[in-house]
Amino acid sequence: MVKSAIDIRIAEHAGFCFGVRRAIRLAQEALKKSKKEKICSIGPIIHNPQEVERFSRMGLEVVGEVDEISKGRVVLIPSHGISPQRQLDLEIKNIELIDTTCPYVKKAQEAAARLSKEGYQVVVVGQKEHPEVKALVEFAGGEGSIVVKDATEATGVPILSEKLGIIAQTTQSKANLNNAISALLERGFSEIKIENTICSDALNRQVAAKNLAEDSDIMLIIGGKESANTRRLFDICKRIKLDTYHIET
């Protein structure tokens, strides 16, 4: 029997992104240094169950609500950030905060707040139920802001203002953002201001995955099933290569 060789190639920029690596480093440092009560994070610090489990074994507790956290504890803000109100609620409880929010997410939060302050109704292109997007909505003023996942939603969503400020979830693809922007432009609003808040690290991974998919027979996308970044890579490759699989372990 003749066995044919299998050519296995790893995409350029594979592995955890800059923001996740930073969050992991800060969490590890906090766990090593802290001699206080058990450290906790407000939600999973990153969307990778294997790393979350590893941190759990190291002593990091994941809690869902601020009410679950007692005064004086050390709390990690996750890499995808939290809303301003949630952070204020934590600060009121005299809690030591270690902020692992990705700098790219911080940039998006600042853009959302700035656009809202300048009088724009903010449109976030992203996944409505993702924690990062929920926080961006709060930074943009809450109920007045709008989330659209794609151009189709951007075409039909009711918008009250003639001044729109557009930002994106940091893991969005450039194509999806541009299509949504085009759909909004076609609606003839008097003023639109666009802030490019897509993470360049995520964009590099998307380009590398696309290039590899175009020259491969099968694509395996390895990462957390709840990771927006990983799901975006899967979607991009699936459109190019039908034999694309998202696996976690």
Whether 95 and 50 map to the same domain: the answer is yes
Whether 220 and 146 map to the same domain: the answer is no
Dihedrals φ, ψ of 125, to 5°? Answer: -90, 110
136/95: higher pLDDT: 136
- Residue from 132, 162, 186, 191 carrying the catalytic annotation: 132
Euclidean distance between CA atoms 34 and 207, whole angstroms: 40
The 8-class DSSP code of residue 248 comes to: -
163-168/191-194 β-pairing: parallel
* pLDDT above 90: residue 196: yes
- Please report the pLDDT score of residue 198 as a whole number: 95
Q: How many helices (H) and strands (E) does the chain have?
A: 9, 10
The secondary structure element, H or E, covering residue 127 is none
Whether 25 and 79 map to the same domain: the answer is yes
pLDDT in tens, 11-33: 888 889 999 999 999 999 999 88
Mean predicted confidence (pLDDT) in 51-66: 92
pLDDT in tens, 149-170: 999 999 988 888 889 999 999 9
Query: 177: closest CA among 192, 153, 162, 198?
Result: 198
Whether 211 and 238 map to the same domain: the answer is yes
Whether 167 and 206 map to the same domain: the answer is no
Q: Give the structural domain span for 80.
A: 18-101
- CATH number of residue 71's parent domain: 3.40.50.11270
What is the C-alpha end-to-end distance of the chain, expressed in Å? 31
Whether 108 and 165 map to the same domain: the answer is yes
Euclidean distance between CA atoms 186 and 135, whole angstroms: 28
- Model confidence at 1, pLDDT cuts 50, 70, 90, reads low
**Residue 51 annotated among the catalytic residues of the structure:** no
- Please report the pLDDT score of residue 220 as a whole number: 94
The 8-class DSSP code of residue 238 comes to: H
Whether 125 and 186 map to the same domain: the answer is yes
Whether 149 and 172 map to the same domain: the answer is yes
Asked whether 108 and 168 are in contact (CB, 8 A), the reply is yes
Mean predicted confidence (pLDDT) in 96-109: 96
Query: Does residue 185 fall inside a structural domain?
Result: yes
* pLDDT above 90: residue 117: yes
Mean predicted confidence (pLDDT) in 83-90: 92
- Please report the pLDDT score of residue 180 as a whole number: 96
Query: Does residue 4 fall inside a structural domain?
Result: no
The 8-class DSSP code of residue 33 comes to: H
Asked whether 12 and 208 are in contact (CB, 8 A), the reply is yes
Whether 111 and 188 map to the same domain: the answer is yes
Query: Does residue 12 fall inside a structural domain?
Result: no
- Model confidence at 37, pLDDT cuts 50, 70, 90, reads low
- Average pLDDT in the chain: 91
